[in-house]
């Protein structure tokens, strides 16, 4: 069964400004990498906009309204914090990123596809229920998980995150909800300063920290020895991946030494777990990755693994 690829050119219109690492060229690099002939079998579709109802399963109404009301003039930007800015196209881009996650869940839960990948931006895993941060405006993975529960009757949904930064937003959305599971491997210490191993929620949060300089072997051990066994125990009805590629050795924002082969390995291992536990249902969402060449190669390795697993 083919893999679904969801994207939208509106995601290129979110422009945080010159020299910002979360730039439109990130998505261009991803889409260029996925334009090679080996990806001809991907089923490509346009990401819809998330509805207010879908967003409000995670975010308070006043937060959703406040973000969507920010529509700067062209060439102007509004800073929400030191890292997170909105341009004239940011609100629609954020709606498309969350909407892609919802549409991917629909396609996978309805049996149209076993795997889906959302090539969208802005990312989402740092956004807390009522607080944008870390380049993120809506908590895309959490929105996807809550949609799977509300619309498709999923009893348990797991989100796993191999971005080099801890997904404090996803954790904040999940930490009191035993029907939701969040696991992350991330460099420690590093922004945003959360993700200590003692942060366990109600027994549904697993953080595995990696020191600066940790390589692919340490990364694979974190997943193979800790996270994937915990996923098996949780027995999810759907697996959502926060697929950040900034743990790559070439990435300028951190100091891990992960390579493309490691991203392919973890993707295959996660798909094998999904085959055991939830009929192979996997939705993957683009998060970080800030060296454009490494981002393109790593995304290609990830999607290639989704296609063959």
Per the CB < 8 A criterion, the answer to whether 200 and 206 are in contact is yes
Q: What is the DSSP letter of 2?
A: P
Q: What is the DSSP letter of 201?
A: T
Counting beta carbons within 10 angstroms of the beta carbon of residue 140, is it exposed (0 to 12), middle (13 to 18) or buried (19 or more)?
A: buried
Task: Using the structure block, give the residue that is written with the tokens 């895993």.
Answer: 125
Angle at Cα 249 formed by Cα 205 and Cα 262, nearest 5°?
60
H or E segment and range at residue 77: none
Q: Is the peptide bond before 122 cis (omega within 30 degrees of 0)?
A: yes
The torsion angles phi and psi of 70, rounded to 5 degrees, stand at: -85, 105
DSSP states of 41-74: T-EEEEPPPPPHHHHTTTS-HHHHHHHHT--PPT
Residue 166 falls in the annotated catalytic set: no
Q: Which residues contact residue 110 at a Cβ distance below 8 angstroms, ignoring those fewer than 6 apart?
A: 152
CA dihedral 185, 288, 113, 64 (to 10 degrees): 100
Q: Which one of the listed residues 8, 59, 126, 166 is annotated catalytic?
A: 126
- Interatomic CA distance for residues 149 and 138, integer angstroms: 18
Residues that are catalytic:
126
């Amino acid at each position: 069964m083919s893999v679904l690829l969801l994207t939208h050119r509106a995601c290129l219109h979110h422009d945080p400004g010159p020299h910002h690492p979360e730039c439109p060229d990130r998505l261009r690099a991803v889409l260029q990498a996925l334009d090679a002939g080996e990806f001809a079998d991907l089923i490509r579709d346009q990401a819809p906009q998330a509805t207010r109802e879908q967003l409000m399963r995670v975010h308070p109404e006043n937060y959703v309204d406040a973000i969507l009301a920010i529509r700067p003039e062209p060439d102007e930007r509004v800073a929400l914090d030191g890292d997170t800015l909105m341009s004239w196209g940011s609100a629609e881009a954020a709606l498309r990123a969350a909407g892609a996650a919802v549409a991917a869940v629909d396609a996978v839960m309805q049996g149209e596809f076993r795997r889906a990948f959302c090539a969208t931006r802005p990312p989402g895993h740092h956004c807390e229920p009522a607080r944008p941060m870390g380049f993120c405006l809506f908590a895309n993975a959490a929105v996807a998980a809550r949609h799977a529960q509300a619309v498709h009757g999923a009893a348990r949904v797991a989100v796993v995150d191999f971005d080099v930064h801890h997904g404090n937003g996803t954790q904040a959305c999940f930490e009191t909800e035993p029907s939701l599971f969040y696991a992350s491997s991330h460099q420690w210490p590093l922004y945003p300063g959360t993700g200590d191993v003692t942060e366990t929620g109600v027994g549904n949060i697993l953080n595995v920290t990696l020191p600066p300089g940790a390589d692919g072997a340490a990364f694979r051990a974190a997943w193979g020895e800790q996270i994937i066994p915990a996923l098996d125990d949780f027995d999810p009805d759907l697996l959502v991946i926060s697929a950040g590629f900034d743990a790559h050795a070439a990435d300028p924002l951190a100091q891990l030494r992960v390579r493309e082969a490691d991203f392919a390995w973890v993707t295959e291992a996660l798909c094998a777990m999904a085959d055991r536990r939830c009929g192979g249902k996997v939705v993957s969402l683009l998060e970080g990755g800030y060296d454009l060449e490494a981002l393109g190669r790593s995304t290609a390795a990830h999607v290639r693994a989704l296609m063959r697993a």
